[in-house]
Amino acid sequence: MQAVALAVAVCFSVGATDSGVRLNDLSHRLMCQCGCAQLLGECDHMGCPSREPEMAELKAAIAAGLSDKEIFAAFSAKYGAVVLAAPTTHGFDLVAWIAPFAVFAAALLGTILLVRRWTIGKSEAAAQTADPAMDELREKIRRETDNSGQ
Protein backbone atom coordinates (compact mmCIF):
# COMPACT_ATOMS: atom_id res chain seq x y z
CA MET A 1 0.00 0.00 0.00
CA GLN A 2 2.85 2.32 0.92
CA ALA A 3 4.60 1.44 -2.31
CA VAL A 4 1.48 2.34 -4.31
CA ALA A 5 1.14 5.63 -2.44
CA LEU A 6 4.81 6.36 -3.10
CA ALA A 7 4.43 5.50 -6.78
CA VAL A 8 1.40 7.80 -7.08
CA ALA A 9 3.25 10.57 -5.26
CA VAL A 10 6.26 10.16 -7.55
CA CYS A 11 4.01 10.25 -10.63
CA PHE A 12 2.36 13.44 -9.44
CA SER A 13 5.63 15.06 -8.50
CA VAL A 14 7.12 14.14 -11.90
CA GLY A 15 4.07 15.63 -13.59
CA ALA A 16 4.35 18.74 -11.46
CA THR A 17 8.02 19.15 -12.32
CA ASP A 18 7.32 18.62 -16.04
CA SER A 19 4.51 21.16 -16.06
CA GLY A 20 6.72 23.54 -14.06
CA VAL A 21 9.48 23.24 -16.65
CA ARG A 22 6.95 23.67 -19.44
CA LEU A 23 5.39 26.66 -17.73
CA ASN A 24 8.82 28.24 -17.40
CA ASP A 25 9.63 27.47 -21.03
CA LEU A 26 6.35 28.76 -22.45
CA SER A 27 6.31 31.86 -20.23
CA HIS A 28 9.66 32.75 -21.83
CA ARG A 29 8.09 32.51 -25.28
CA LEU A 30 5.22 34.85 -24.50
CA MET A 31 5.21 38.56 -23.76
CA CYS A 32 3.65 40.30 -20.81
CA GLN A 33 0.88 42.55 -22.09
CA CYS A 34 1.11 45.34 -19.55
CA GLY A 35 3.34 47.37 -21.87
CA CYS A 36 6.58 46.61 -20.04
CA ALA A 37 8.03 44.93 -23.18
CA GLN A 38 9.31 42.03 -21.02
CA LEU A 39 8.90 38.31 -21.42
CA LEU A 40 5.96 36.99 -19.40
CA GLY A 41 8.26 34.76 -17.36
CA GLU A 42 10.52 37.68 -16.55
CA CYS A 43 8.04 40.49 -15.94
CA ASP A 44 8.78 41.53 -12.40
CA HIS A 45 7.41 44.97 -11.96
CA MET A 46 5.24 45.32 -8.92
CA GLY A 47 1.52 45.54 -9.30
CA CYS A 48 1.64 44.35 -12.92
CA PRO A 49 -2.00 43.97 -14.02
CA SER A 50 -1.22 41.45 -16.78
CA ARG A 51 1.32 39.00 -15.46
CA GLU A 52 -0.83 37.05 -13.02
CA PRO A 53 -3.89 36.68 -15.32
CA GLU A 54 -1.68 35.60 -18.21
CA MET A 55 0.23 33.14 -16.06
CA ALA A 56 -3.07 31.75 -14.76
CA GLU A 57 -4.31 31.28 -18.33
CA LEU A 58 -1.07 29.58 -19.25
CA LYS A 59 -1.25 27.23 -16.26
CA ALA A 60 -4.87 26.40 -17.13
CA ALA A 61 -3.96 25.70 -20.74
CA ILE A 62 -1.11 23.40 -19.70
CA ALA A 63 -3.37 21.63 -17.23
CA ALA A 64 -5.99 21.20 -19.99
CA GLY A 65 -3.39 19.30 -22.00
CA LEU A 66 -3.12 21.78 -24.89
CA SER A 67 -0.08 21.53 -27.12
CA ASP A 68 2.38 24.45 -27.40
CA LYS A 69 0.92 25.31 -30.79
CA GLU A 70 -2.63 25.37 -29.43
CA ILE A 71 -1.58 27.51 -26.48
CA PHE A 72 0.14 30.04 -28.74
CA ALA A 73 -2.91 30.11 -31.04
CA ALA A 74 -5.21 30.74 -28.07
CA PHE A 75 -3.01 33.55 -26.73
CA SER A 76 -2.67 35.09 -30.21
CA ALA A 77 -6.44 34.99 -30.70
CA LYS A 78 -6.96 36.79 -27.40
CA TYR A 79 -4.09 39.29 -27.32
CA GLY A 80 -2.96 39.50 -30.94
CA ALA A 81 0.32 38.34 -32.50
CA VAL A 82 2.32 40.71 -30.27
CA VAL A 83 1.87 38.28 -27.36
CA LEU A 84 4.29 35.84 -29.02
CA ALA A 85 7.89 36.66 -28.12
CA ALA A 86 9.13 35.72 -31.59
CA PRO A 87 7.58 35.77 -35.06
CA THR A 88 5.95 32.54 -36.19
CA THR A 89 7.42 30.48 -39.01
CA HIS A 90 4.70 31.00 -41.55
CA GLY A 91 3.46 33.80 -43.78
CA PHE A 92 5.31 37.08 -43.76
CA ASP A 93 6.76 36.20 -40.33
CA LEU A 94 8.98 33.67 -42.04
CA VAL A 95 10.87 36.57 -43.65
CA ALA A 96 12.01 37.59 -40.16
CA TRP A 97 13.80 34.25 -39.80
CA ILE A 98 15.12 33.85 -43.33
CA ALA A 99 16.41 37.35 -44.10
CA PRO A 100 19.31 37.46 -41.59
CA PHE A 101 20.74 34.12 -42.72
CA ALA A 102 20.11 34.88 -46.39
CA VAL A 103 21.87 38.23 -46.14
CA PHE A 104 24.72 36.71 -44.15
CA ALA A 105 25.15 33.85 -46.63
CA ALA A 106 25.01 36.22 -49.60
CA ALA A 107 27.57 38.55 -48.02
CA LEU A 108 29.84 35.60 -47.15
CA LEU A 109 29.62 34.20 -50.66
CA GLY A 110 30.13 37.66 -52.16
CA THR A 111 33.26 38.21 -50.07
CA ILE A 112 34.71 34.82 -50.96
CA LEU A 113 34.07 35.42 -54.68
CA LEU A 114 35.56 38.90 -54.45
CA VAL A 115 38.73 37.68 -52.76
CA ARG A 116 39.02 34.83 -55.27
CA ARG A 117 38.66 37.29 -58.14
CA TRP A 118 41.37 39.47 -56.66
CA THR A 119 43.74 36.56 -56.11
CA ILE A 120 43.14 35.13 -59.60
CA GLY A 121 43.45 38.62 -61.10
CA LYS A 122 46.73 39.06 -59.28
CA SER A 123 48.23 35.78 -60.48
CA GLU A 124 47.13 36.53 -64.06
CA ALA A 125 48.62 39.99 -63.83
CA ALA A 126 51.82 38.47 -62.51
CA ALA A 127 51.86 36.08 -65.46
CA GLN A 128 51.26 38.92 -67.90
CA THR A 129 54.02 41.06 -66.49
CA ALA A 130 56.55 38.24 -66.65
CA ASP A 131 59.61 39.20 -68.66
CA PRO A 132 60.33 36.73 -71.55
CA ALA A 133 63.99 37.74 -71.59
CA MET A 134 64.29 36.83 -67.94
CA ASP A 135 62.62 33.50 -68.59
CA GLU A 136 65.10 32.84 -71.36
CA LEU A 137 68.00 33.75 -69.07
CA ARG A 138 66.69 31.41 -66.37
CA GLU A 139 66.41 28.60 -68.93
CA LYS A 140 69.97 29.26 -70.10
CA ILE A 141 71.31 29.15 -66.53
CA ARG A 142 69.42 25.90 -65.94
CA ARG A 143 70.88 24.34 -69.10
CA GLU A 144 74.42 25.50 -68.29
CA THR A 145 74.31 24.33 -64.70
CA ASP A 146 72.87 21.00 -65.86
CA ASN A 147 75.77 20.63 -68.33
CA SER A 148 78.35 21.50 -65.75
CA GLY A 149 76.95 18.91 -63.51
CA GLN A 150 77.45 16.20 -66.01
Partner 1 sequence: MAAFGSFALLIALALAAWNLLAGAVALRLIATGQKAAISPERLADTARRAGIAGFWAVTAAAFALIWSVFTNDFSIAYILEHSNRALPAAYKFSALWSGQEGSLLLWAWLLGAYGFVLRLTHKQDVKLYAYAGAILAGIQVFFLAILCFAAPPFALFQGQIPEDGAGLNPLLQYPEMVIHPPMLYLGYVGFSVPFAFALGALMMRYPGEKWIKITRVWTMVTWLFLTCGIFLGMHWAYAVLGWGGYWGWDPVENASFMPWLTGTAFLHSVMMQEKKGMMKSWNVWLIFTTFLLTLLGTLLTRAGLVSSVHAFAQSSIGTWFTVFMGIVLAVCIFTYILQRDHLKSEQRVESLVSRESSFLFNNLVLLAACFVILWGTLFPILSEYVVGNKVTVGAPWYNAVAIPIGLFLLFLTGVGPLLPWRASSLRAIRRNFVLPSIALWGTVIVCLSVGVRPWKDGAIDQGHFYALVAFALSAAVLTAIFSEFLRGARVISKQSRRNFFAAIYLLIRRNTRRYGGYMIHIGVVIVVIGLAGGAFNRNVESEMALNDKITIGPYTLEQVGATQDSNANYNSEYARLDVSKGGKKLFQMTPEKRVYLASEQPQTMVAIHSTPEWDLYVVYEGTNPDTGQPIIKAFLNPLVSWIWAGVALMALATVIALVPSAKPGAQKGGNSGA
80 makes contact with partner 1 (CB under 8 A): yes
Q: For residue 112, which amino acid is it?
A: I
Q: How many CA atoms lie within 13 A of 44 on its CB side?
A: 1
15 makes contact with partner 1 (CB under 8 A): no
CB of 66 to partner 1, least distance (A): 19
Sign of the alpha-carbon dihedral angle for 102, 108, 110, 113: negative
Q: How far apart are CA 64 and CA 14, in angstroms?
A: 17
Choose between 11 and 107: whose C-beta lies nearer to partner 1.
Answer: 107
Compute φ and ψ for 64, nearest 5 degrees: -75, -5
**Exposure of 105 by Cβ count < 10 A (0-12 exposed, 13-18 middle, 19+ buried)?**
exposed
Please choose, out of 57-65, 67-75, 93-101, 129-137, the segment that lies near partner 1 by the rule CB under 8 A: 93-101
Compute φ and ψ for 84, nearest 5 degrees: -80, 130
99 makes contact with partner 1 (CB under 8 A): yes
Q: Which of 82, 127, 130, 134 binds partner 1 (CB under 8 A)?
A: 82
CB of 100 to partner 1, least distance (A): 4
Q: Which of 13, 15, 35, 63 binds partner 1 (CB under 8 A)?
A: 35
**Exposure of 85 by Cβ count < 10 A (0-12 exposed, 13-18 middle, 19+ buried)?**
middle
Please choose, out of 59-67, 84-92, 127-135, 136-144, the segment that lies near partner 1 by the rule CB under 8 A: 84-92
Binding-site ranges for partner 1 (CB under 8 A):
28-29, 31, 35-39, 42-47, 80-87, 91-93, 96-97, 99-101, 103-104, 107-108, 111-112, 115-116, 118-119, 121-122
